[in-house]
Chains A and B, each alone.
Chain A
Amino acid sequence: MYNFTLWDILSNLLLAARWTVLLSVIAFVCGGIAGILVLLARVAPLRPLRTAMKLYIELFQGTPLLMQLFIVFFALPLTGIETSPWTAAAVALTLFTSAYLAEIWRGCVEAVPRGQWEASASLALSYGEQMRYVVLPQALRIAVPPTVGFSVQVVKGTAVTSIIGFVEVTKAGTMITNATFQPFLVYGLVGLIYFVLCYPLSLSAKALERKLNVAR
């Protein structure tokens, strides 16, 4: 039987970790863009739109990510869209991320004092202009720390996609364990990789939060 060196294991895990990173980035960027749209609809001065988005958010917050992944993976093919584990993972994580980010950002928009809306309204700004020039810039500042903090959840969330056969770092760990019978070593390394990815994000979220608190 072939003997795996530590380097063999680690290099294979790192190769798979590229997919974890890529999936995280895609989910975060696409989820962020979708999240902005959901946010705008969620706070729009149109009740049906707000209610629809509230449902959307509650749906994704109220069900396990794993379920969402299964549904996307098995439901998309029914609509005729060819679904690889890769697409399903990206779509599910994007939807999940958009819902959470929209809800985080809604809190930030609502934290902008009412006086800011009133002052800008009295200067004859339209709703869109108020949002763009007065409210969103202020909400953005408050939003940075929790947004960066949430990116950690996205990175960890990618682990779930191993279940539909997407080979990111967790799935790679399982495969290598099956070949080497060294679960502690392999999963230890997998955990370490997640930690190296996530810890800087948590740290910077905390640092940003401190910086913003000082600035006020």
Chain B
Amino acid sequence: MSLADQSVSPSARPLVKLSNIRKSFGSVEVLKGVDMAVQEGQVVAMIGRSGSGKSTLLRSINGLERIDDGVIEVDGECVDPSQIDLRALRLKVGMVFQQFNLFPHLTAGENVMLALKVVKKQDKAACRAAAEAALSKVGLGHKFDAYPSQLSGGQQQRVAIARSLAMAPKVLLCDEITSALDPELVNEVLSVVRQLAEEGMTLLLVTHEMRFAREVCDSLVFMHGGRIIEQGPPAELFDRPQTPELAQFVGMVEAR
């Protein structure tokens, strides 16, 4: 389905590797030893009930949450709880949020160019070219000079995707990126994600769009109570859940 099937690198080392990730908020353990691997070019969806730790896990992967134990490895960049400098990791891991989080004082183009200029120290022309390319890719080349407040939710989310993509991350994390959108705007964002998947981008998504997960993802991860309790091809998980928790979750989702 994706590049991963054809071009597994000789060493076959996963692009993202999580080992025994643990994280507590106060006395509540939210991640109870998560192991996970994502191959280059793979599209992985995480599903699970509210509070099962999906966001926390995703946010740990780019250091927005400091993990208590375990190791995160992204393309050879290793992070453990003692690590403080996260810059190298974040250059390899992009993230798109539920609430878009565009910078409201900057135009769409400036949103995309900011990190190119400040972090990657590219010159003006290069920044502009990269930003134009990224915005065109999400179908918003003509909105370069628009402020976020002048854009619809779907357009804002696509700018946010462009902003992450422009940094050329190795993997893109998406946390329920369509959940804050009006129903009629969901598809324009999903089709951008679908296009990225087809181009071989490595994606790790938290989503409640089950049909999308089934159609686009190579692998599905079911989280429950801070653990991954099932994973595999989407069709298999949906049609033949092995655990009662997943069976119940699938039943619940499909009843909606």
Contacts and interface: CB of A to CB of B under 8 A. Distances in A.
A123 B64 contact: no
B115 A116 contact: no
B97 interface: yes
Interface stretch (B42-50, B86-94, B192-200): B86-94
Contacts of B164: 122-123
* Interface SS majority for chain A: helix
Given A121-B64, A123-B167, A137-B105, A115 B118 contact: no
A136 to B, nearest CB: 10
B227 interface: no
Interface in B204-238: none
B119 A119 contact: no
Contacts of A118: 64, 97, 101
Contacts of A138: 103-105
Contacts of A81: none
B135 interface: no
A125 B103 contact: no
A141 interface: yes
B105 A124 contact: no
A167 to B, nearest CB: 45
A126 B87 contact: yes
A123 B131 CA distance: 14
Given A122-B164, A123-B90, A115 B99 contact: yes
A123 B104 contact: no
Contacts of A141: 105
A115 B104 CA distance: 12
Interface string A117-136: 01111111110010001100
Contact of B103 (A116, A121, A122, A129): A116
B244 to A, nearest CB: 35
A121 B90 CA distance: 8
Nearest to A129: B118
Interface string B151-179: 00000000010011001000000000000
Which of B63, B95, B115 is most buried by chain A, counting CB atoms within 10 A of its CB?
Answer: B115
Nearest to B163: A123
A137 B105 CA distance: 7
B36 interface: no
Interface string B96-116: 010101111100000000110
Interface in A104-121: 113, 115-116, 118-121
Contacts of B64: 118, 121-122
Contact of A125 (B94, B99, B115): B115
Which of A116, A118, A119, A129 is most buried by chain B, counting CB atoms within 10 A of its CB?
Answer: A119
Contact of B97 (A115, A126, A134): A115
B39 interface: no
Contacts of A125: 114-115, 118-119
A113 B97 CA distance: 13
B202 interface: no
B62 interface: yes
Interface in B73-96: 86-87, 90-91, 93-95
Contacts of A137: 105
A129 B62 CA distance: 18
A119 B160 CA distance: 9
6 contacts: A119-B103, A120-B103, A121-B62, A124-B87, A124-B115, A133-B118
Interface of B: 62-64, 86-87, 90-91, 93-95, 97, 99, 101-105, 114-115, 118-119, 160, 163-164, 167
Given A133-B114, A138-B105, 20 more contacts: A115-B99, A116-B101, A119-B95, A120-B103, A120-B115, A121-B90, A122-B64, A123-B90, A123-B94, A123-B119, A124-B87, A124-B91, A125-B114, A125-B119, A129-B119, A133-B118, A134-B103, A137-B105, A138-B103, A141-B105
